[in-house]
Structure 1
């Protein structure tokens, strides 16, 4: 749970979305605070602005007769005459000529305007009517060379009613809707933008995760990566270049050392064989043989670790297995072990041809090493079987087996089992694992009760089938 929370808190997408939400919320709070302050504290300013605006609308809607005298308003404004009739104590209008005489007014206008000054000129004014404060605005109108003045006024209590009980709730609701739309729409846009922006990073991460010792030559692509992240990707590519260089140097050194050691070992062996016989001669020859074997296996390990050393083609499995059995038949006879091969649960001479896509030499090396390892651990009088199917191959012996801790170490370089007869270098199974990985196969070791089974599977789906079939053959 802590890891999940930490991952969320360290997520770039989460931080940007959180910053967006906080910014939107703060902006909305600031706007709402300003509007509420204006509506509650400085509502008179809005009231005056509304009065002037309404007066200008009425001035623009004035209708004149043939002599140029105002006679009413257009149809849109005339439809609002009911308001002046119903609210004659709260709102009214009138039109004055240049002398300040009223030529047109709303219903009950004379009583409403009794306390108002007959002033001419644009501006804002106040007066008292029935003990109530009235606010008004004057707008000049010119028509046919004559000048008129339209005055519009409303009571302060009407303004308070409209602003506090109608405008403020409406504005709060509007801010709420606007906030919701802003959060949803812009939040979705921000999420999609982040998703599209970070998609190349996910691809880069997947490419980086897929890099292995066999694909260390690969490089991360910077196409589509945000420019802020490009330096990081380029730095990682430079690190890969240095790692590849070091890996190549190591592999070249290993291969060179193996090649360089083969020649002097061969010369030493020849000198010993041509020398006089003695008690130490056989011991020296055995030591030379052991060293030569180690050098040869080091060379094989270096070759198996390089992907360019493989040449893949369709391989006749029965033919390769037959060669492996024939190659190790003498070793099996010397160890008193019976070596046999079965294809699809049948003997080799009855089986149909099976073909795998593989490097033929590497495939033969895997099979030879697995069978040789089984022969070295099989007691005299027992057998070693090779079971080959369409998707898997198993090599089994009837030896003492191994405990789980030993099974975990079997593919470790230079590790040797306690029941082995020869003095090998402990690299055979490591070479097999390298070759299997290069082919995309899975090599595993399992207890067979008794003995051990090494399973080489081309796919996980067939592993259980192969194991079941081999178990039945063993029983």
Structure 2
């Protein structure tokens, strides 16, 4: 048997790590595509930014005791020095319901009047105007206070937005993505490596345990404790396979022991007769012992052969045709025993999927057993249908103890006319199991009935 050594490319750990790396690379690419989309929709982003900033300024508007706006509430990340430092790029103003300006940012009135802005835009939303040839994005946000309506307007130049995005935001985001990628590769990579090692540790232990199993330790089983749930069915199947192997190995050991015991007695008799130099007086007895041993050896070889399914060649077989062939083959034996074989007619000519030689051996052994037990002057009836074959004799039958042991190797029942090896029915059972059939024996009152049944159409469908 050839064993294939797994290569590094077939490593499940490497595949999981590879999938992780691919996921990281795809994540970075998606983030990059997101940044590209931001650049593509820069104008829409600036418009949205103006409206959001106007809404924020509306929440910071402070009023005097008489309800008039007096300034903005300062917060750390939006201090008024920004408007002082960028007076040509950033500005805000507060208007009343009539359009009169109540409050200006440090940029003052000139930021708005120098642009030639003629419309006050006292409705919520975004609007654009030009100042000194530079586009200005602005937005209006109404504010309700003590029953009066005020309007706060925020303005940001397009070049300032470009500067913030290209010189500050994008480089910062690029460095952030790079740092995030490195952290993701190192931290999560280490976590993935440790997780994979801990996950596959039980598999390495299972592999070591499986390697230690030998014919001398077939009773050992793999321990499913700590095994991942996805691998547990494999462990269970492996243990079931070990169970079947142990059963088969024990059966072979018992078979060899029984065969040695069965061959030991005739060999001892032959040796004793040779030592006593009684060839002439016991020539017939010696020939009988040799014939018995020859039959046993042939049966042992046949039993070993029928146990191997690869020795079978399955084809569609006319069951009645094989039955008639077996009956003709055993006609002389039946006549010598004073019995006859009666084949029940069947116009449908059922066909079974089987190995012809094995089926012939099975039917021959069943009929030989019936001939050996049937009383003189009686008949043996054989009936075959598309799903069942029955062989019945009118002999003494069998009690419960006999029925429980009838397929045991080397077991011989009473009432036999010959001294068989006790393997014929065991061979029948092996052939039936190899075909997926069921062979049973039952009391017929009088006589014994053997029933060979097909277990399912998926295995042996009639043709």
Q: TM-score, normalised by structure 1?
A: 0.53
261-270 or 140-149, larger mean C-alpha shift: 261-270
State the Cα deviation string for residues 220-278 of structure 1 (Å, max 9, x = none).
2333333333333333223323322222122222322333444444444444444489x
CA contact (8 A) 1:36 1:168 kept: no
**2:254 aligned with 1:252:** yes
1:93 matched to 2:74: no
> Does the Cα contact within 8 Å between 2:138 and 2:156 map onto a contact in 1?
yes
State the partner residue of 1:176: 178
1:288 corresponds to: none
Task: Write the deviation string for residues 383-423 of structure 1: whole angstroms up to 9, x where unpaired.
Answer: xxxxxxxxxxxxxxxxxxxxxxxxxxxxxxxxxxxxxxxxx
Number of the residue aligned with 1:67: 66
Which residue number in structure 1 is paired with residue 357 of structure 2?
A: none
Quote the Cα distance in structure 2 between the aligned partners of 1:108 and 1:31: 37
Counterpart Cα distance in 2 of 1:77 and 1:5: 66
Paired residue secondary structure (1:89): coil
Q: Which moved more, 1:191-200 or 1:88-97?
A: 191-200
Structure 1 counterpart of 2:379: none
Given the alignment of the two structures, is residue 212 of structure 1 paired with residue 214 of structure 2, yes or no? yes
Task: Call closer, same or farther: CA 1:44–1:184 in 2, change over 3 Å.
Answer: same
CA distance in 1, matches of 2:278, 2:6: 75
Alignment of 1:20-35 (within 5 A): 20-35=20-35
Q: Quote the offset at 1:217 in angstroms.
A: 1.9
Deviations 1:420-474 (A, max 9, x none): xxxxxxxxxxxxxxxxxxxxxxxxxxxxxxxxxxxxxxxxxxxxxxxxxxxxxxx
| Cα distance per residue 1:57-88 (max 9 Å; x no partner) | 22111111111111112232797232222221
Aligned length: 274
Deviating beyond 4 angstroms after TM superposition, the runs of 4 or more aligned structure 1 residues are 272-277
Aligned equivalents of 2:78 and 2:41: distance in 1? 32
Are the counterparts in 2 of residues 211 and 218 from structure 1 also a CA contact under 8 Å?
yes
Match of residue 58 from structure 1 = 57
> Residue 148 of structure 1 aligns to a residue in which SS?
strand
SS in 2 for 1:109: coil
For 2:6 and 2:205, how far apart are their aligned partners in 1? Answer: 22
1:234 to 233, 236, 239: 236
* Inter-CA distance 126–140: structure 2 relative to 1 (3 Å threshold): same
Specify every segment of 5 or more residues in structure 1 that has no aligned partner in the other structure, as ranges. 278-475
Among 160, 163, 178, the residue aligned to 2:162: 160
Q: Which residue of 2 aligns with 1:145?
A: 147
Cα pair distance change 1:142/1:5, threshold 3 Å: farther
**Counterpart-to-counterpart distance in 2, 1:204 and 1:222:** 9
CA distance in 1, matches of 2:153, 2:145: 16
Within 2, Cα distance between the matches of 1:274 and 1:107? Answer: 137
**Cα distance change of structure 1 residues 79 and 52 upon mapping to structure 2, 3 Å threshold:** closer
Distance in structure 1 (CA, Å) of the matches to 2:36 and 2:108: 34
Aligned to 1:384: none
Q: Is the 8 A contact 1:101 1:118 kept in 2?
A: no
Q: Is the 8 A contact 1:126 1:136 kept in 2?
A: yes
Task: State the alpha-carbon separation in 2 of the partners of residues 234 and 67 from structure 1.
Answer: 84
Asked if the contact 2:74/2:80 (under 8 Å) is kept, the reply is no
Q: Using the alignment, how far apart are the partners of 1:174 and 1:205 within structure 2?
A: 45
Distance in 2 (CA, whole Å) between partners of 1:220 and 1:47 is 66
Equivalent residue runs for 1:441-456 within 5 Å: none
- Give distance in 1, aligned partners of 2:237 and 2:139: 71
Q: 1:179 to 1:5 in 2, by over 3 A?
A: farther
Q: Secondary structure at the match of 1:75?
A: coil
Q: Distance in 2 between matches of 1:149 and 1:258?
A: 111
Match of 1:105 in 2: 104
Cα 1:6–1:150 change in 2 (3 A) is: farther
Partners of 2:90 and 2:107 within 8 A in 1 = no
CA displacement 1:338-383 (0-9 Å, x = unmatched) = xxxxxxxxxxxxxxxxxxxxxxxxxxxxxxxxxxxxxxxxxxxxxx
Q: Which runs of 5+ in 2 are unaligned?
A: 280-463
RMSD of equivalent CA atoms: 2.7
- For 2:366, the equivalent position in structure 1 comes to none
C-alpha spacing 1:35/1:5, structure 2 compared with 1 (3 Å)? farther
